[in-house]
Amino acid sequence: MKDIGGCAISGVMNRKREPIAGEVIVRSIANMSFRSNGLGGGFAGYGIYPDNPDHYALHMLYASRQSQDKVEDLLLHDYAIWREEPIPTRPVASIVDRPTLHRYFVTPKDETRARYYELSDDDIVIQTVMRINRFVEDAFVVSSGKNMGVFKGVGMPEAIAEFFRMDEYKAYIWTAHGRFPTNTPGWWGGAHPFALLDWTIVHNGEISSYGTNLRYLASYGYHCTLQTDTEVIAYLFDLLVRRHKVPVEIACKAMAPPFWSQIDAGAGDAESQLLEAVRITYPSVLLNGPFSIIVGHKDKMIGLTDRVKLRPMIAAEQGDQLYMASEEAAIREICPAPEKLWALPAGIPLIGATEVEAPCPRAS
């Protein structure tokens, strides 16, 4: 008998950025369908827009025509829109009450850059994301990175995959999620992955430190509006790694640090001093509660569990492929005989990096 431990997460990455068919990640997450209840499923793919690799791909969710008009007025004011279109879908009987789904490939206008001269393009895009999610009723930004996108909604993961035509996409990194909501609502914007710029998060568990994390992020201009605790993790990675220039491994240690007793046992050695400094500098970044997460980024995939590993995470390698999932079966479904298979230790990140000089997959 299987031991059900909450939501399902899965990820696969090719270190040489060779394309992986969308059906691969769908098979993996579908293997864990018993962990989902139809209230949320989703996918993130990197390298899916090789014809627009330098444009921010804004995936939008609209619940009214008025909200779409307001967002498009905002985008026309601040951005050059290189391409825009409905996100392709196909009818699926179980997917009902669907919102309007649209995508825009944009870059900030020169006059926008001049107006916000102290901000990078990434910061300008984040301001736009926060503005839309906070102040435009019935509109939400699903993802906002370059050459990547998030596809999510209310439904079983395999139904969401069919709806969004995942079989027509290829990516060098895929992550996926099947949701079993506990204390937050099941709705289109609240499904996983959560995204900001190139960061995406799929999460199994619960963030009991959400209130502390939320208030800390708000002091830096990040505002949580999607009614799900996982949202804070995406913003924390952007704040620490992109803005504060903290190495990814140290950022992970800030979110899942050793206990003070473990640090004290180091007797003041260099590593213990570093961990002490991280805990003192970033107390409000610590993530409390049971969790396992897979973090996607344009050049890496990261696995991390909480400090006592209350949620499972398995990893595997086969050639240039790195796999992570809630269960071994989900990996063996798409990699029957991995060269290496192991369980991630508590609080120790697994950071898989791509060879960034390798070309992105081209459209077939």
Give mean pLDDT, residues 29-54: 93
pLDDT tens readout for residues 170-186: 999 999 999 876 666 77
Say whether 7 is catalytic. yes
Q: How far apart are CA 181 and CA 204, in angstroms?
A: 10
pLDDT band at 227 (very low <50, low <70, confident <90, very high): confident
Catalytic residue among 7, 224, 252, 360: 7
- CATH fold, domain 8-203+289-353, is Glutamine Phosphoribosylpyrophosphate, subunit 1, domain 1 (3.60.20)
pLDDT tens readout for residues 204-221: 988 999 999 999 999 999
Contact 108, 78 (CB under 8 A): yes
| pLDDT for residue 358 is more than 50 | no
**Domain range summary for the chain, segments of one domain joined by +:** 8-203+289-353
Query: Which of 152, 147, 163 minimizes the C-alpha distance to 193?
Result: 152
Contact 35, 7 (CB under 8 A): yes
Q: How far apart are CA 96 and CA 134, in angstroms?
A: 25
- For the whole model, what pTM was predicted? 0.94
| Tokens matching residue 192 | 């996983």
pLDDT band at 266 (very low <50, low <70, confident <90, very high): confident
Unique residue bearing structure tokens 């905002």: 74
Phi then psi dihedrals of residue 238, to 5 deg:
-65, -45
| Tokens matching residue 217 | 């992020």
Question: How far is residue 149 from each of residues 38, 120, 184, 243, 318, measured CA to CA in Å?
Answer: 21, 21, 24, 22, 25
pLDDT tens readout for residues 67-90: 999 999 999 999 999 999 999 999
| pLDDT for residue 30 is more than 90 | yes
